[in-house]
Amino acid sequence: MGKKARGAEAFEEFYSKAWGERWPKLKQSLVGPKTYAAIKNPHFEGNIDWSSIKTKELWPQIHLLECGGTWPEVATDEQGNRSHYMMDPASCLAAHYLGVEPGDEVLDLCAAPGGKSLILLNRLKDQGKLVSNDRSRDRRERLKRVLAEHHPLKESIDLQITGHDASSWCLHQKEAFDKILLDAPCSSERHVFESPKHLNEWGEGRTQRLSKDQWTMLASALDVVKIGGRIIYSTCSLSPLENEKIIEKLLAKRGERVRLIDIDSPYIEKASFGYYMLPDNGGWGPIFFCLIERIG
């Protein structure tokens, strides 16, 4: 059996096949300027004149700059709270559409660097429980730092930071959370383009291996969420193996236990299963996500 192709040529062949005529434009958008949203910190007590900055509120406390504006530098108040946190608007989307409400018990399975956990905390309004998990020690330390800088701990909220393997969580807890966010480790093609080393080493086997890990994480999450609870599965990948094919597999193997929830938004486009937000259509992302409800 011949050795499988690797590097830029293999990368180009795989994604050209996946995206067809759209691929050249999509590829160009991956190396273009990034768009950022600001998550305003409701606990910040310092001075920033937001009134002089033209922004559009995408979702509660998540703001996008209007044309021609510039974000202020992040400020820190006397209590150590930072004024805002910057991230891709597409990444905000997954946390937003999970639909967290005050009093929910929530699990963020792959939480670092922490922006999505901040959104989940803001939605809880200091009522309920959030477990922010990341297996990597270095990423977990960054997660702790981000949460400490943007959200003072209160007795009314149960916030835990853990370092467990997301794929085996179901061995220790079942039907334990109302909402689960699984933003799974993925191919992240934007980062591949930023690293000649990673591009030269790329092979289709990478996305195949990642898809196996993603499936085990999602299968575990399905056991951990309560019946009637919801999961957001998301990646920042463009590989169908890590996106639609994962949801297709979920329906084939666990279809009697789940239903997919439709989402109506001007910011997203429907895939065969789930939704995309893509950088060639507005400069956000990429992100793939699917909202799943456990029914049995």
Which of these, 13, 28, 38, lies nearest to 190 by C-alpha position? 28
Helix (H, G, I), strand (E, B) or coil at 155: coil
Asked about 170 being catalytic, the answer comes back as no
Q: Report the 3 state secondary structure along 204-219.
A: HHHHHHHHHHHHHHHH
| 190, containing H or E segment | helix 189-193
Instruction: Give per-residue burial for 211-238: e unless 16+ CB within 10 Å, then b.
Output: beebbebbbbbbbbbeeebbbbbbbbbb
Rounded to whole angstroms, the Cα distance separating 46 from 74 reads 11
Pairing of strands 287-294, 258-260: antiparallel
68: region left, alpha or beta (phi > 0 left; psi from -120 to 50 alpha): left
Among 110, 170, 236, 290, the active-site one is 236
Closest CA to 242 of 220, 211, 206: 211
166 in Cβ contact with 109 (< 8 Å): yes
Question: Which of helix, strand or coil describes residue 179?
Answer: strand
**Residues tagged active-site:** 236
